[in-house]
């Protein structure tokens, strides 16, 4: 790897020294404040946001740079279009990542983070990003997290923050609670330790109150479809009904949620979650020890594993309930595939028409009854698997529902049972409330004080920030409380209301709260009186363009939408959707393999930039493949993009002003301007680069001397990708100021028109295909091209008897 990163191309252009040029322009940008935005005075504001990084000790990852470069190109393009572009970048530096690393290396995060940030800043500047460093921030600075705490207080004020004891995912290694999203395949996303369940008092945000709004707004957002789909699935709206089954024990009505009330005649058992509050009441004395053992077992499992587990387990409570439709007795079971958090924590088992119920019933030999039938099915034949087709199915074995379609049966049964109080229609969401408590050290303390006399007292806004104290022993332990709870000198305070002895909340907040509002802060950085200035916010927000990874589709992107809605409802903002446009970028691999530290195949941007230049490196990253899909980083291919820049350089050095530009090259130029201008807004960077390379080939065909008019527009086109060489060549060709304030070249629509057309080919009057050919192709050439297409040739059995040719439109072969 050392080899390929440092290998130099012997054909490098004379005088093109990327290192010198890039350092020169980075210095000039700083000195001239080229990248600083006039926040108050901007007339055509454009906010180009990228997801801020976690500043790791290893430094900038090539994946970070891939993401940022894509945003930078978009931002620079918007600036060339005449916008005042604001491109800020900060650091998401709180959280378990930083803390675990600090613990591993035995240093303090307060000492490590500033060093990491300094290194990131150096690397980011070296990569030539158009970042406005006057508006940078770190979530760990007290003047930032003061406002993170303020946001907590706004939620508390609106009744959207509450504390409850909850079963949570607990990582025994990280010694902290994990959100469901942080548990992947039953293990901790960070350390891969199997996750357990614990019950702890936690602070939650009522994001579920916003589920409907978070869902319906998606329809109007200009976002990547994959991201919208992920959010829709995560929110998981389902329409259904709550049905009541009377238990035989006293006061034991069991409410179940189902999306298939139509199948109630096939409900042959009930299942309640092991944590369900009725379990003790429902369990017969003889079954109690089995039930208790099962509940203990369940506690050791995490929620995600329970949702996805393929092996069904459960235990019979020994009691029964009455099916409100059939009036038959059905046994009540407990099983871990039913979650307290979903619906009512109880379900009716319909093994004939639900795959998981079918497995469960098969395993425990419970009756399987068919109540929905396909057109050709025998209503009384045993089922081999659950029948789940709702569209084709008709109701059978269902008393008054027989013969109805599934959707009609849903309505009918809910109406019928509702009369006796045994059913009501409900909408259910998969989205849970957001647990924001972390029993860790490295985060903003939750700004709450507990007083024996006054209860839970919010820290008064004037007392913010609650500063995270420097403590040496920040290592979490097994107690389930934060390391801050070991520091009495910190948590003992006077109650803000009555002045008596009180105690601070010792948990810190989730790092996703830090990142849920950072984009609101950037334009107002420097103003310590408010989290975000009202007028500035009106001018710059919502964000015009946001680019980031789809791994944040359901965490950060959902939480920041929620916080924005809450702040709007509280009158602090005038909009409720933070990002007008969002695009998810792809990911890059290396030589066909995923990059990882253990594989030792991580691309270190520093080495590549050192040997090829930031411009060539940036351009190469964007040339790897479609930006929204990613690509494969291959060491030897970077020389191709470097060669392109070399040729651009030498073209400027050798170009002539004598005579006129070649008309064919000029036509190609206008096509290229059009193509690049169409590709950039679509983030189709690789095709834009390919078009510029192709144009360069036309310019230098046969080592001809290019005309000035053929070359100078290319400086603007290449500028978003390779900003330093563009600035240098702009200066060399007599340009004033920054090329980024010099506008985007226009194209002549007539000249840019594509010469190729789709010619329809018929054989004996029937359309057999299309051929992509030059507009002015001759009849003979068109015939030859058509006959070389197998789809056409196979219909021409003999020599053509007649040819009908309509130039530019149609070729009909009569055979």
Shortest Cβ 470–Zn ion spacing (Å):
25
* Piece in contact with Zn ion (CB under 5 A), picked from 166-174, 399-407, 408-416, 734-742: 166-174
> Which residues, including other chains, have CB under 8 Å from residue 761's CB and lie 6 or more apart?
767, 768, 769, 770, 771, 786, 789, 792, 810, 811, 812, 813
* Piece in contact with Zn ion (CB under 5 A), picked from 62-70, 448-456, 731-739, 757-765: 448-456
Q: Which is nearer to Zn ion, 555 or 680 (CB)?
A: 555
Could you say whether residue 207 binds Zn ion (CB under 5 A)? no
Q: Which residue of 39, 130, 188, 783 would you call a contact of Zn ion, by CB under 5 A?
A: 188
Could you say whether residue 103 binds Zn ion (CB under 5 A)? no
Could you say whether residue 174 binds Zn ion (CB under 5 A)? yes
* Piece in contact with Zn ion (CB under 5 A), picked from 327-335, 491-499, 712-720, 760-768: 491-499
Shortest Cβ 180–Zn ion spacing (Å):
14
Within residues 308-367, the interface with Zn ion by CB under 5 A covers none
What number of chain residues touch Zn ion (CB under 5 A)?
Answer: 13
For residue 213, count CB atoms less than 10 angstroms from its CB and return exposed for 0-12, middle for 13-18, buried for 19 or more: middle
Q: Are strands 455-458 and 329-334 parallel, antiparallel or unpaired?
A: unpaired
* Piece in contact with Zn ion (CB under 5 A), picked from 64-72, 187-195, 301-309, 376-384: 187-195
> Which residues, including other chains, have CB under 8 Å from residue 600's CB and lie 6 or more apart?
none
**Quick one: which of 592, 629, 625, 264 has its CA closest to 417?**
264
Q: Which is nearer to Zn ion, 24 or 198 (CB)?
A: 198
Q: Which is nearer to Zn ion, 96 or 406 (CB)?
A: 96
Shortest Cβ 94–Zn ion spacing (Å):
17
Question: Which strand (E) or helix (H) includes residue 197?
Answer: strand 196-205
Residue 306, preceding bond cis, omega within 30 degrees?
A: no
Shortest Cβ 477–Zn ion spacing (Å):
15
Write a three-state SS string for 697-737: HHHCHHHCCCEHHHHHHHHHHHCCCCHHHHHHHHHHCCCCC
Could you say whether residue 191 binds Zn ion (CB under 5 A)? yes
Q: Which is nearer to Zn ion, 153 or 714 (CB)?
A: 153
In this structure, what DSSP letter does residue 644 have?
H
Could you say whether residue 494 binds Zn ion (CB under 5 A)? no
Q: Which residue of 166, 243, 495, 525 would you call a contact of Zn ion, by CB under 5 A?
A: 495
In this structure, what DSSP letter does residue 421 have?
T
* Piece in contact with Zn ion (CB under 5 A), picked from 164-172, 398-406, 440-448, 771-779: 164-172
Could you say whether residue 496 binds Zn ion (CB under 5 A)? no
Q: Which residue of 130, 171, 409, 413 would you call a contact of Zn ion, by CB under 5 A?
A: 171
Q: Which is nearer to Zn ion, 388 or 453 (CB)?
A: 453
Could you say whether residue 497 binds Zn ion (CB under 5 A)? yes
Shortest Cβ 455–Zn ion spacing (Å):
8
Distance CA(28)–CA(38), nearest Å, equals 18
Tokens, residue 331: 């046994």
> Which residues, including other chains, have CB under 8 Å from residue 365's CB and lie 6 or more apart?
none
Could you say whether residue 454 binds Zn ion (CB under 5 A)? yes
Residue indicated by tokens 């920041």: 560
Q: Which is nearer to Zn ion, 80 or 451 (CB)?
A: 451
CA terminus-to-terminus distance, the chain: 61
In this structure, what DSSP letter does residue 469 have?
P
Shortest Cβ 412–Zn ion spacing (Å):
50
Mapped onto helix, strand or coil, the DSSP state of residue 254 is: strand
In this structure, what DSSP letter does residue 376 have?
T
Could you say whether residue 217 binds Zn ion (CB under 5 A)? no
Residue indicated by tokens 């206008």: 670
Q: Which residue of 19, 56, 136, 173 would you call a contact of Zn ion, by CB under 5 A?
A: 173
Contact 648/718 with Cβ under 8 angstroms? yes
Distance CA(158)–CA(120), nearest Å, equals 38
The site for Zn ion (CB under 5 A) is made up of: 171, 173-174, 188, 190-191, 193, 451, 453-454, 495, 497-498
């Amino acid at each position: 790897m050392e080899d390929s990163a440092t290998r130099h191309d012997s054909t490098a252009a004379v005088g093109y020294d990327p290192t010198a040029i890039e350092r020169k322009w980075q210095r000039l940008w700083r000195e001239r404040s080229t990248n600083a935005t006039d926040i108050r005075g901007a007339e055509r504001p454009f906010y180009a946001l990228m997801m801020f990084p976690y500043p790791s000790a290893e430094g900038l990852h090539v994946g970070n740079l891939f993401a940022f470069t894509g945003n930078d190109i978009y931002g620079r393009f918007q600036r060339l279009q005449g916008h005042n572009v604001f491109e800020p970048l900060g650091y998401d530096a709180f959280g378990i990542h930083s803390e675990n690393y600090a613990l591993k290396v035995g240093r303090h995060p307060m000492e490590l983070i500033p060093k990491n940030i300094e290194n990131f800043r150096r690397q980011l500047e070296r990569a030539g990003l158009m970042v406005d460093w006057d508006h940078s921030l770190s979530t760990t600075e007290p003047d930032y997290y003061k406002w993170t705490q303020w946001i907590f207080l706004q939620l508390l004020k609106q009744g959207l923050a509450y504390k409850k004891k909850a079963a949570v995912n607990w990582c025994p290694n990280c010694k902290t609670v994990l959100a469901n999203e942080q548990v992947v395949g039953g293990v901790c996303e960070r350390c891969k330790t199997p996750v357990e369940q614990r019950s702890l008092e936690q602070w939650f945000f009522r994001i579920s109150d916003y589920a409907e709004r978070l869902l319906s707004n998606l329809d109007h957002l200009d976002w990547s479809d994959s991201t919208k789909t992920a959010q829709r699935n995560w929110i998981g709206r389902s329409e259904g009904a709550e049905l009541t089954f009377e238990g035989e024990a006293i006061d034991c009505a069991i409410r179940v949620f189902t999306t298939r009330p139509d199948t109630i005649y096939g409900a042959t058992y009930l299942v309640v979650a092991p944590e369900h509050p009725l379990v003790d009441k429902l369990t017969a004395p003889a079954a109690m020890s089995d039930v208790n053992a099962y509940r203990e077992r369940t506690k050791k499992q995490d929620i995600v594993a329970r949702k996805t587990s393929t092996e069904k387990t459960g235990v019979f409570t020994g009691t029964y309930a009455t099916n409100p439709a059939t009036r038959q007795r059905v046994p009540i079971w407990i099983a871990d595939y039913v979650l307290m958090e979903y619906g009512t924590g109880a379900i009716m088992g319909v093994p004939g028409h639900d795959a998981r119920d079918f497995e469960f019933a098969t395993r425990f030999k419970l009756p399987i009854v068919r109540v929905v039938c396909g057109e050709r099915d025998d209503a009384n034949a045993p089922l081999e698997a659950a029948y789940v087709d709702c569209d084709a199915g008709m109701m059978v074995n269902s008393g008054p529902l027989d013969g109805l379609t599934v959707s009609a049966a849903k309505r009918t049964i809910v109406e019928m049972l509702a009369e006796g109080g045994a059913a009501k229609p409900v909408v259910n969401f998969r989205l849970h409330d957001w647990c924001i408590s972390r029993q860790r050290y490295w985060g903003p303390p939750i700004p709450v004080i507990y007083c024996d006399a006054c209860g839970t007292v919010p820290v008064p806004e004037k007392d913010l920030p609650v500063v995270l104290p420097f403590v040496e022993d920040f290592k979490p332990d097994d107690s389930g409380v934060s390391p801050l709870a070991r520091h009495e000198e910190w948590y003992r305070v006077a109650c803000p209301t009555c002045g008596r002895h009180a105690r601070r909340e010792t948990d810190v907040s989730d790092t996703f709260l830090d990142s849920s509002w950072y984009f609101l802060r950037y334009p107002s950085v420097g103003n310590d009186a408010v989290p975000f200035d009202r007028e500035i916010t009106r001018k710059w927000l919502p964000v015009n363009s946001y680019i980031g990874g789809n791994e944040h589709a359901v965490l950060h992107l959902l939480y920041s939408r929620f916080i924005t809605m809450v702040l709007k409802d509280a009158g602090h903002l005038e909009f409720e959707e933070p990002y007008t446009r969002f695009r998810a970028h792809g990911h890059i691999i290396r030589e066909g393999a995923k990059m990882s530290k253990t594989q030792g195949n991580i691309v270190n941007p520093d080495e590549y930039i050192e040997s090829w230049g930031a411009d060539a490196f940036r351009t190469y990253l964007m040339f790897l493949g479609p930006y929204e899909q990613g690509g494969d980083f291959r060491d030897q291919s970077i020389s191709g993009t470097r060669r392109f820049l070399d040729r651009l350089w030498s073209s400027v050095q050798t170009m002539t002003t004598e005579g006129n530009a070649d008309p064919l090259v000029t036509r190609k130029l206008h096509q290229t301007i059009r193509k690049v201008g169409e590709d950039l807004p679509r983030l189709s960077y690789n095709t834009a680069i390919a078009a510029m390379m192709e144009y360069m080939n036309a310019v230098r065909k046969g080592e001809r001397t290019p005309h000035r008019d053929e070359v100078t527009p290319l400086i603007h086109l290449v500028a978003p990708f390779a900003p330093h060489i563009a600035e240098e060549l702009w200066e060399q060709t007599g340009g004033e100021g920054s090329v980024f304030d010099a506008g985007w070249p226009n194209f002549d629509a007539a000249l840019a028109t594509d010469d190729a057309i789709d010619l329809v080919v018929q054989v004996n009057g029937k359309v057999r295909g299309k051929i992509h050919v030059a507009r002015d192709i001759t009849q003979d050439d068109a015939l030859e091209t058509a006959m070389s297409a197998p789809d056409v040739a196979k219909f021409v059995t003999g020599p053509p008897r007649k040819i009908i040719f309509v130039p530019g439109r149609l070729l009909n072969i009569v055979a």
